[in-house]
């Protein structure tokens, strides 16, 4: 019998981890706390569509069916695609549904021993005859708890679910003083479509946030209530939201998803020549950004609404903050069914509604929907029983999550994290990481020393801070997909160059199908 690998979560990353560990002869057991696969795609607002064009968001060995003709498929189409993938590769039999992992605890070397290790797990190997993980799992129906002893753990718990990010308020300034109702966007998304419509119907709704879920919810409120009961969107910062991926007729992928575009950026671990080239080409880097900004500004009429961001498009995409704007969003702003209101640093509650910074009277409202994101870092940290491992995985709040190749923590043995770090296409990057982890488990390559891994993490942290600036987020690879994938390919012994011919290699966009199994 092969080594047993526990996979936590049956979203996209969990399914990929299951498929690729099977391919290497391991025995995966997937714990999924809900009754279905698909992760964040199982509960969305009605208007949710794929954020990126489908050629960039697909499995490398399981293309989209020809029946899906849209560039940005709906939530139902995406979920059907994911379910078809799981059925095609016979993954469902490995999944235990409605089983919530309460905590994981390492059983093996003492913490003092582990601190003295110079290599991951002491030997650099993914498995140990002495070390195991105890995975405590609760059956959500019977409420009974069972403990599984496994050889390796892959955490695929995601960042955008379960633990909502709720803003903190001063005493007597929070939701408790408000006479209306306050919910998080996840509560709205959990409703069926008809119930969600009825829930906002006839109410003065205020949505807090300006990322994808906030924009979608505001549009749905506008569809339901029109100008009779406008939906107010409170935001802190203007963002570059894209109406499409064809600025002035040029596919965005040709500006940011090919090798030439990556030559314009300083890369972690680059040599002197590449560094010099990125410096020389910096005016072109600026020009690409201005090219896209001019298109978005013109197409959406941002100047008319005072919504031109103060930061660059490069900063937006480098921070993984890029999102698509719902069709006709600003038409709704113009007609008055959506009202945009800026609150630069804070807002608070009173009995009648929300007090916006700089305004004397409260914004009267019946319902506040907080589209303020999730605390994925807390969810990841809390799954560990050991306070030491909790501190390791959290790292410094001022740095990126300390994961080598965005997968492995050098001081936590026999464990990988997949799907926490964002990108322009999370499916694409998760698949590459799952293949890398599977090859690591199979012994195809070994990891460098813990010090070398930590040094590499620091280089990526410097890169992230350089291009994201004040919008820096702790786990994001928005502009260096190919450079990052090159590292994975070299580790696995693959040829990182996947195109035919120098011109294609330099200028054609890279996507999932370039890495399809041969």
Banded model confidence at residue 390, pLDDT cuts 50, 70, 90: very high
HSE-up of 395 (CA within 13 Å, CB side)?
21
pLDDT band at 1 (very low <50, low <70, confident <90, very high): low
For 271-288, what is the mean pLDDT? 96
Beta-carbon count within 10 A of 97 CB: 17
Scored b (16 or more CB within 10 A) or e, 120-151 reads bbbeebbbbeebbbbbebbeeeeeeeeebebb
Give the separation between CA 10 and CA 18, rounded to whole angstroms: 9
pLDDT band at residue 398 under the 50/70/90 scheme: confident
Name the band, by pLDDT with cuts 50, 70 and 90, for residue 379: very high
Concatenate the DSSP letters of all residues of 406-446 into one string.
Answer: TTB-TTSTTEEE-S-SEES-HHHHHHHHHHHHHHHHTTS--
Contacts by residues 460-465 (CB-CB < 8 Å, ≥ 24 positions apart)? 460/268, 460/400, 461/399, 461/400, 462/268, 463/266, 463/267, 463/268, 464/318, 464/400
**505 class by beta-carbon count within 10 Å (0-12 exposed, 13-18 middle, 19+ buried):** middle
Q: Which of 149-153, 375-379, 406-410 has the lowest mean pLDDT?
A: 375-379
Helices (H) and strands (E) in the chain, counts: 19, 20
% helix / strand / coil in the chain, to the nearest 5? 40, 15, 45
Q: Pick the closest to residue 314 from 323, 306, 322, 326 (CA basis).
A: 322
pLDDT band at 474 (very low <50, low <70, confident <90, very high): low
Residue 358 has pLDDT above 90, yes or no: no
Which residue blocks in 342-414 are alpha helix, DSSP H? 376-382, 387-394
pLDDT of 361: 86
Is the confidence at residue 511, as pLDDT, over 70? yes
Residue 416 tokens, joined:
């990988």
- Quote the tokens at residue 249: 């007729």
Cα torsion 483, 488, 493, 494: sign: negative
- pLDDT, tens digit, for every residue of 189-219? 999 999 999 999 999 999 999 999 999 999 9
Distances from the Cα of 326 to the Cαs of 72, 333, 402, 426, in angstroms? 12, 12, 35, 20
Question: Once rounded to an integer, what is the mean pLDDT over residues 236-246?
Answer: 94
pTM of the model: 0.95
Q: For the chain, give every domain's residue range.
A: 4-161+375-515, 175-370
The residues with which 29 forms a beta bridge, in sequence order, are 6
Residue 122 has pLDDT above 90, yes or no: yes
Dig out the tokens for 169 from the structure: 């308020």
Q: What is the pLDDT of residue 159?
A: 82
Rounded mean pLDDT of 343-370?
A: 89
For residue 433, the model assigns a pLDDT of 97
Of the pLDDT bands very low, low, confident and very high (cuts 50, 70, 90), residue 431 is very high
Angle, alpha carbons 487-491-492 (nearest 5°): 120
Please determine, for residue 53, whether its predicted confidence score (pLDDT) is greater than 60. yes
Q: What is the CA radius of gyration of the chain?
A: 23
Helices (H), ranges, 231-361: 253-256, 259-263, 272-280, 282-300, 302-305, 313-318, 329-335
Strands 145-150 and 27-31: unpaired
d(CA 92, CA 163): 26
CATH 2.40.50.140, domain 175-370, yes or no: no
Is the pLDDT confidence value at 23 over 80? Answer: yes
Q: Do domains 4-161+375-515 and 175-370 have the same CATH topology?
A: yes
425 confidence band (pLDDT: 50, 70, 90): confident
Rounded to an integer, what distance in angstroms lies between the CA atom of residue 14 and that of residue 35?
14
- Residue 24 contacts residue 49 (beta carbons within 8 Å): no
Q: Where are the alpha helices (DSSP H) in 257-308?
A: 259-263, 272-280, 282-300, 302-305
pLDDT band for 477, please (50, 70, 90 cuts): confident
Which conformational region is residue 261 in: left (phi greater than 0), alpha (psi within -120 to 50 degrees), or beta?
alpha
Cβ-based burial of 342 (10 A; exposed 0-12, middle 13-18, buried ≥19): middle
Give 123-182 pLDDT, tens digit per residue.
Answer: 999 999 889 999 999 999 999 999 999 999 999 998 888 888 888 888 888 999 999 999
Q: In this structure, are residues 285 and 265 in contact, taking their beta carbons and an 8 Å threshold?
A: yes
- Is domain 4-161+375-515 given the CATH code 3.90.228.20 in the classification? no
In order, the DSSP letters of 95-157 are: EETTEEEEEEEEESS-HHHHHT-SSGGGTS-S--SS-EEEEEEEETTT--EEEEEESEEEE--
What pLDDT, on the 0 to 100 scale, is given for residue 397? 85
What pLDDT, on a 0 to 100 scale, did the predictor assign at position 129?
85
Asked whether the beta carbons of 75 and 49 are under 8 A apart, the reply is: yes
Mean pLDDT computed over 483-505: 96
Q: Residues 105, 110, 115, 119: is their CA dihedral positive or negative?
A: negative
Angstrom distance (rounded) from CA 48 to CA 208:
18
């Amino acid at each position: 019998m092969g080594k047993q690998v526990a996979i936590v979560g049956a979203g996209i990353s969990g399914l990929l981890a299951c498929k690729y560990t099977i391919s290497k002869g391991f025995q995966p057991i997937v714990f999924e706390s809900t009754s279905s696969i698909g992760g964040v795609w199982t509960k969305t607002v009605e208007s949710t569509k794929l954020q990126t064009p489908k050629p960039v968001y697909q499995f490398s060995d399981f293309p989209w069916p020809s029946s899906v003709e849209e560039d940005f498929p709906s939530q139902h189409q995406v979920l059907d695609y994911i379910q078809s993938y799981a059925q095609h590769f016979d993954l469902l039999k490995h999944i235990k549904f409605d089983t919530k992992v309460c905590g994981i605890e390492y059983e093996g070397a003492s913490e003092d021993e582990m601190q003295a290790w110079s290599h991951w797990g002491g030997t650099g190997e993914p498995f140990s005859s002495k070390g195991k993980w105890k995975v405590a799992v609760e059956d959500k129906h019977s409420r009974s708890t069972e403990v599984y002893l496994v050889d390796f753990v892959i955490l695929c718990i995601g960042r955008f679910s379960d633990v909502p990010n709720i803003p903190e308020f001063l005493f007597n300034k929070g939701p408790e003083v408000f006479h209306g109702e306050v919910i998080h966007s996840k509560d709205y998304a959990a409703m069926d479509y008809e119930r969600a419509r009825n829930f906002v119907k006839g109410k003065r709704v205020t949505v807090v946030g300006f990322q994808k879920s906030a924009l979608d919810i505001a549009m749905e409120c506008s569809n339901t209530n029109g100008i009779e009961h406008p939906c107010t969107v409170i935001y802190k910062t203007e963002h570059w939201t894209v109406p499409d991926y064809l600025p002035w007729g040029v596919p965005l992928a040709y500006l940011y998803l090919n090798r030439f575009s990556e030559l314009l950026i300083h890369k972690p671990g680059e040599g002197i020549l590449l560094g010099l080239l990125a410096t020389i080409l910096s005016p072109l880097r600026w020009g690409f950004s201005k090219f896209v900004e001019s298109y978005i500004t013109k197409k959406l009429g941002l100047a008319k609404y005072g919504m031109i961001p103060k930061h660059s498009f490069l900063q937006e995409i480098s921070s993984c903050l890029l999102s698509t704007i719902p069709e006709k969003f600003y038409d709704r702003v113009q007609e008055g069914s959506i009202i945009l209101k800026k609150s630069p640093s804070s807002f608070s509650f009173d009995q009648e509604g929300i007090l916006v910074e700089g305004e004397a009277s409260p914004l009267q409202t019946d319902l506040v929907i907080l589209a303020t994101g999730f605390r994925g870092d807390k969810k990841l940290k809390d799954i560990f029983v050991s306070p030491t491992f909790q501190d390791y995985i959290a790292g410094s709040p001022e740095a990126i999550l300390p994961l080598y190749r965005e997968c492995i923590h050098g001081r936590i043995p026999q464990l990988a994290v997949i799907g926490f770090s964002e990108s322009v296409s999370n499916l694409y990057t998760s698949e590459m990481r799952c293949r890398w982890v599977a090859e690591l488990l199979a012994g195809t390559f070994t990891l460098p020393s813990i010090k070398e891994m930590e040094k590499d993490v620091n280089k990526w942290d410097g890169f992230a801070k350089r291009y994201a600036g004040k919008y820096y987020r702790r786990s994001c690879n928005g502009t260096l997909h190919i450079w990052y994938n090159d590292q994975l390919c070299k580790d696995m012994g693959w040829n990182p160059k996947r195109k035919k011919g120098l011109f294609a290699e330099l200028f054609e966009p890279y996507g999932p199908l370039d890495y399809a199994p041969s």
